[in-house]
A and B are shown apart, each in its own frame.
Chain A
Amino acid sequence: MIFDIIFILVAAVFYILVSILVATHVVPAKALNGPHRLGPWTVAIPYLLYVVVALRGALLIVRRLQAVFASFVANEPFARDNATHLRAIWVTLVVIEITRIVAWVFAHALTTVFVSGAAVAVPRGLANPIDLVRLFLIFVVLILAEVFRQGTQLREESDLTV
């Protein structure tokens, strides 16, 4: 819980600081154009927001996966919490994907308003509004969560069969 709060605070401060520095041209937007090609500030700022959310989501997913693997090691694959962990994972993936789509919308809207004419470099993560591979992954994890939920029910029924 404390870790979550610290992470959100640090991420928020970092994000706001970079946004201000880039928007006021103290840090030129092209300084963000390292190997990842963030593009102008109209793209970089929404992309950074998406990156922060995605990083936080990734940490959460890793923690949940650790708990799931721990139950496998303990030879209890259908432990009661595993369905909850997998549900948390697919919900986190949905949140990350929604953030990505929102970032894409903002990036294109801001670019249209503030950057006229020429083609703008866009990071790979914001190339397309709809990514079928990501949606498929979310769907697979959703189904896996349901399988584990039903598996847990069956295991509990079996344990209570005399």
Chain B
Amino acid sequence: MSIRVSLDKLLADRDMSLTELSGLVGITLANLSILKTGKARAVRFSTLDALCRVLGCQPGDILSFDVESVHSDSGAGTG
């Protein structure tokens, strides 16, 4: 998967912990952890909406596409 999640950087900039974010967005800590560690297979728009509202950012600040990993992956299937 070449989609990168920059949640830890955003949390560090706002001096916020994952537990605090979990309480504010109404998503379980386990699910946020899945998202933060890049294990998530899909993200709902409602989740993205809640994160952007609480963190005061754009979806592009949270998610990015890693071009270099696409070139280095050979024959990687869809996730």
Contacts and interface: CB of A to CB of B under 8 A. Distances in A.
B64 interface: no
Contact of A160 (B32, B41, B47): B41
A75 interface: no
B53 to A, nearest CB: 16
A157 B34 CA distance: 12
Interface of A: 156-157, 160-162
Nearest to A156: B41
Counting from the closest, the 7 A-B pairs by CB-CB distance are A160-B41, A161-B42, A162-B35, A162-B31, A162-B40, A162-B43, A162-B47
Interface of B: 27, 31-32, 34-35, 39-44, 47
6 contacts: A157-B41, A157-B42, A160-B39, A160-B42, A161-B41, A162-B34
A12 B40 CA distance: 52
B44 to A, nearest CB: 7
B43 A161 contact: yes
Nearest to A160: B41
Given A160-B34, A162-B47, 16 more contacts: A156-B41, A157-B41, A157-B42, A160-B39, A160-B42, A161-B41, A161-B42, A161-B43, A161-B44, A162-B27, A162-B32, A162-B34, A162-B35, A162-B42, A162-B43, A162-B44
